[in-house]
Amino acid sequence: MKKKNFEKIGITLKPNSTPDFYHILPTLCSWLLRRNKQVIFKAEDKERVLKFFKNKTTSSLTFWETADFHNKIDLMLSLGGDGTLIGVCRRIKSTIPVLGINLGRLGFITEFNKNEYFERLESILNGKYITTTKPLFHVSVERKGKIIFKDFFFNDAVVAKNDIARMISLRAELGHEHIYNISGDGIIISSPLGSTAYSMAAGGPIVHPEVRALILTPICPHSLINRPFVVPDQSSIILKILPPHHSLTLTLDGQVALSVDEQDIIKINSSKVKKVVLITNPEKSYFETIRDKFILAKRD
């Protein structure tokens, strides 16, 4: 991707407001405006954003509708945690770089914390930065031969039961090959970046983000032989609901949910067109993050 100077800067905020916003947003926006950058928020966040500025002027801020906000900016700043960044990645145009700024505890994909991002922002705005490009994964639901739903996920897609004391059964296929039938609470289909989230908590492996794969992790399987599988992402994973039929939900990244039933076929594959460009922190490595998160138990 050709690097460029950034003029239109979008800022996405975590859904739940944090006291940090009262200091960070006025300081950040003033800093950007002094450098003649256009500072843009989503129109739906306008009322909330203005509260963080108190008596300070906000006339120079710009508010765009969602479609323009995700497609016509030059650079996106995501202020929140991994969940905020994941939501951005699912919606933003594939050529727009995203800078993740973590306001909470140690994140996996938010490369910069709130105490360090200013040190590099000047260079980033002038086109001096390193990126990594990650694919998103496409999900479609077919019912009676028609596609009734399609969307993308960055971390994981989960098919799980709704009823408390019920077990569900699913058939998992890779391309045209039967992998196994699963009886239990459901299944997680995870990307390598998402392997350290719900999948790992359910007993799945940690997979390096440069591996081209998908991870199938059963949730509380009834049979001990239903183990996690790591499969290549070049083929589609197909999930079919087996009897006895119960109420199920398909969830993408914990942010989008759809009720599915026995007639539905769920298809998951790596997207050939939808990708995300993440600005990386040259002083932070994947294995350093793993050590800090799981071994040393450090927190911001």
**pTM metric for this prediction:** 0.90
Q: How many CB atoms lie within 10 A of CB 135?
A: 21
Distance CA 102, CA 85 (A): 9
156 assigned to active site? no
Longest C-alpha distance within the chain, in Å?
Answer: 63
Mean pLDDT by 10 residues, the chain (300 residues): 80 89 92 95 94 81 96 96 93 94 78 82 89 95 95 96 86 94 95 94 94 96 89 94 89 96 94 92 84 60
Which structure tokens are listed for 175?
């391309």
pLDDT of residue 3: 65
| Full set of structural domains in the chain with CATH | 8-130+280-295 (3.40.50.10330), 137-272 (2.60.200.30)
Instruction: Find the catalytic residue in 45, 68, 82, 300.
Output: 82
Q: DSSP for 212-280?
A: -EEEEEEES-SSTT---EEEETTS-EEEEEESSP--EEEEETTTEEEEE-TTEEEEEEEEEEEEEEEE-
| CA angle, 258 then 259 then 264, to 5° | 100
Q: Distance between CA 3 and CA 96 in Å, rounded?
A: 11
